[in-house]
Amino acid sequence: MQVNDNKDFQPTIVAFCCNWCSYAGADLSGTNRLNYPTNVKIIRVPCSCRVNPMFILRAFQRGADGVIICGCHPGDCHYTSGNYYARRRMTLLFSMLDYLGIERDRTRVEWVSAAEGQKFAKTMNEFTEAVRKLGPNRRLEDLRCRKQ
């Protein structure tokens, strides 16, 4: 796998965060003044299972370099079982992306609760660094969707 040595490259990261846990976790890491990269663009969703595979591909098409989905820990879903469905869907989708030869480290699922501000910041730092190493996403971008 090719590694990007360009230290100046700043990846665009899209993070889908569940309203009931990781979105609050992001808030908490903010109020605790923990640092996480400004590259991370958070999109709030009502539940991790609201994330349609199309959202993820769409983000990549429009220029995201990495997409991360954050939801409540298994067993803790606000709607009882949403994250269990999300877990199956994301596993299959990521496996398909891998099958098509898309770099594995561009996608991730992480379970972050509302109390885990620290974990949120740490996850975002690690993920951004991993994507930065991969360099810009070319394999999934779509020229039709590129913003001028």
Residues that bind another protein (CB under 8 A): 1, 53-54, 57-58, 61, 74-75, 81, 84-85, 87-105, 107-109, 139-140, 142-145
Q: Are 72 and 78 in contact (CB under 8 A)?
A: yes
Q: Which is nearer to another protein, 30 or 53 (CB)?
A: 53
Q: Which is nearer to another protein, 28 or 68 (CB)?
A: 68
Q: What angle do CA 134, 135, 140 make, to 5 degrees?
A: 90
Q: Which is nearer to another protein, 24 or 90 (CB)?
A: 90
Q: Compute the least distance from the CB of residue 95 to another protein, in Å.
A: 5
Q: Compute the least distance from the CB of residue 96 to another protein, in Å.
A: 6
Q: Compute the least distance from the CB of residue 31 to another protein, in Å.
A: 29
Report d(CA 136, CA 46) in Å as an integer: 29
Q: Compute the least distance from the CB of residue 63 to another protein, in Å.
A: 13
**Nearest partner of 71 among 19, 127, 126, judged by Cα:** 19
Report d(CA 115, CA 29) in Å as an integer: 9
Cβ count within 10 A of residue 62:
15
Q: Which is nearer to another protein, 46 or 74 (CB)?
A: 74
Report d(CA 48, CA 44) in Å as an integer: 9
